[in-house]
Structures are given as structure tokens and as C-alpha cells.
Amino acid sequence: MLLRLLLSIFLILLSTIAKAATYSPAIRDGGSRFLARSLGSACYSMDSLRRGLPCNPAYVAKEKSPRFDTDLLLGSNMEYLREAEALLNGNSDEASVAKMFSRREAVDGEISIEASFQRPTWGVSVEPYRLVYVYQFENASLPMVDMIASEEQSIKAQLASFTSGNFYAGLQLRYTHVKYVGNYFSVVEAVAGDRDKLFEIHNQDILYVEPGLLYAWEDTSWEPQISAMLSQWGVSDKKSEQYPIRPQGLLGASVKPAVPLGLLEVGMQLQVHNDTENFQDAVRGAVTYQLGVLQGVLSASQYDQAAAFLATYKSFSTGLSYWSERTNKAVFVQFGVSL
């Protein structure tokens, strides 16, 4: 009796400090997946690495010819995605939940399929399937789990125009339907509490309206360009901590320094959202270099780093992106076809 009373008090205290799991803005980002996993937020101001629609819709006005892309992105934690599917289908049992709680390493797994078509001034993209699983174990003395599994279907459209001088303006409309399971809880709470409530399945529909601007000096050496965008602004059919409407502002610049061989681009991005506390939080830098069929990428912020390469032969491409932060790391493989 005393043990039950103490356990009940413990769970009540935990419920007062518990919070819902929330994806970082990067996970809710609408950029093409290989671009987002390689360049991070710097993809909003750079255009030499091209897969799918550009992150900033204003860049679609710079397209010179039609292009159709299909891409498959696979993360390194593929074995854990089956665990995410079981949670989303309501098929997890006590053994699988116990296995989940025995894990101490962080997990960042993803698989997505995307197809896009773009012409000068407009483009459309369809992502019929995206599965993401983020899991983090915290505080070994008082074990807490921060996890979320989601399945998404998205469609987005971009429209852009050349206005005057070197100025471009664009708008992206992005609709996302997401089914997710996510929470922040203690291992004790999961074992002794209401497991069905902790792993409750939610559905949410979101429409994002994301304007972008670009000023590009295309006729000068180094081709400098400055871009700005308001992303993740829109409306949702319900409020949630996992998928909130939290707009972020992006301001960036890039140049293409002249090099004897290949194409070099250097960019810097400022990304400001409600979690930004200082200037260092907002800054990200990136470098891409293309020589023949190979293109390499390096990008970094105060919190994470990424290194990637993309190899293209005729209509086929394959890429590899390595991403790491203080407590987590992952590898993403891309396969694509362009027509």
C-alpha cells in the first residue's frame, strides 16, 4: 500500500514537469530532404546543389528549363523505423515497449519518397510517404524518454516571378497531413501508468504559406545573392506541441568565387525562431564544390555539422550525408532520377 502511494505521488510530480515532445524546426522544414540534411538552413540561400524544388521558392524563377526529379532518402537507423511503424499502427506490445526503454543511445531515423517537377517560375512536389522517428534518453538517475514517431504525406507548390532589376519574389504553399505518436515521460510512468494514453495516435492537417525573396547579381563575378524567407507560417486544424505553428525568419547570402576548376559556392544563413537566444544560435555556414560528376558539401552551426557528397551520371544520382550533433549522429543515403 505504501509503495503504491509513493508511486502515485511520484507520477503526479512527473506529470507536472512533463512536456510534449516537439520536433526541431529542421524536422518540420519543407525543404527537399537531401538538401535539408546536407546544407541545413543554408539551403535557403544557396542554389548550386540541386535536388527537388529549391528551399526558397523565389529561386524557382531562375530555372532555365523544365526538370523532373524523383528522390528516395534512407536514414541509417532503418531498423528502428519498424518500431515507429508499430507505434503508429497501434501494434506495439509490452515486449517492444520494454526494448525501447532499454535503449540508451539517441535515434534519428527517416525514410522519404519525393517527386517534383519545375519549370521557369513554378514548380510542384509530392511526398506520398515520409516516416520519421526521433528518440532520446535523458537523465540516467531519473530516466526520461523524449520520443516522437510520425508518418507524413505532403504536397507543395511554388510560384515565383522576376519583378525588377535583379529582384525575385516567390510563394510556397505546402499542405501536410501527419499521423504521430509523441510524448515526454519517465520510464516508471510508462511501466506503471496508462501506456495507451502515452502512445495515443494523433492526426493533424497543416497548410503552410511561406513567402520568399531573392536579389541576385547574376551578371557580376562571384554572382552574389541575398535571400530572405518566412517559413513554417500557416494554419492547422488543431493545436499541438509536436507540430505547432511557429514561424521562423531566414536571411542569408551566398557567393560563387572564381576557381580554376569546378564550381564553388559559399553561403551563410541566419535562422531566427522562438528558441533562438543569441546570434550564435542563428548562424549556419556552408560550402559546396562541384567538379565533374561529383559535388561535395560541408555545413555547420553551433549545434550540428554535416558533410555530404552527390554523384550524378546522366539522369541518375546518388548521395551520402553524414550529420552529427552533441548527442546524436546519423547517415542518410539518397538515390535520385532526373529527367
Domain boundaries, the chain: 20-284
Task: Please count the other Cβ atoms lying within 10 Å of the Cβ belonging to residue 299.
Answer: 26
> How does pLDDT run along the chain (339 residues), one tens digit per residue?
443 443 343 334 333 333 444 456 666 776 667 888 899 999 999 999 888 999 999 999 988 889 999 999 998 778 788 888 888 988 876 777 777 777 777 888 889 999 999 999 999 999 999 999 888 877 666 677 788 899 999 999 999 998 877 899 999 999 999 999 987 776 666 666 566 677 889 999 999 999 999 999 988 999 999 999 999 999 999 999 888 999 999 999 999 999 999 999 999 999 998 888 888 889 999 999 999 999 999 999 998 999 999 999 999 999 999 999 877 888 999 999 998
Largest CA distance in the chain: 80
Among 321, 280, 274, smallest CA distance to 299 is for 321
Query: Contact at 8 Å (CB) between 20 and 4?
Result: no
Supply the pTM of this predicted model. Answer: 0.87
Contact 83, 135 (CB under 8 A): no
Amino acid identity at 274: N
SS (H, E, C) 15-57: HHHCCCCCCCCCCCCCCCHHHHHHHHHHHHCCCCCCCCCCCCH
Helix axes 78-88, 94-101, angle to 10 degrees: 130
- Look up residue 188 and give its three cell numbers: 516508471
Note whether 33 and 27 are within 8 A (CB): no
Look at residues 297, 295, 299 and name the one whose alpha carbon lies nearest to residue 310.
Answer: 295
CA dihedral 323, 174, 247, 81 (to 10 degrees): -40
Q: What is the rounded distance in angstroms from the CA atom of residue 268 to the CA atom of residue 51?
A: 20
Instruction: Identify the residue whose cell numbers are 543554408.
Output: 42
Cell numbers describing residue 265: 559556392
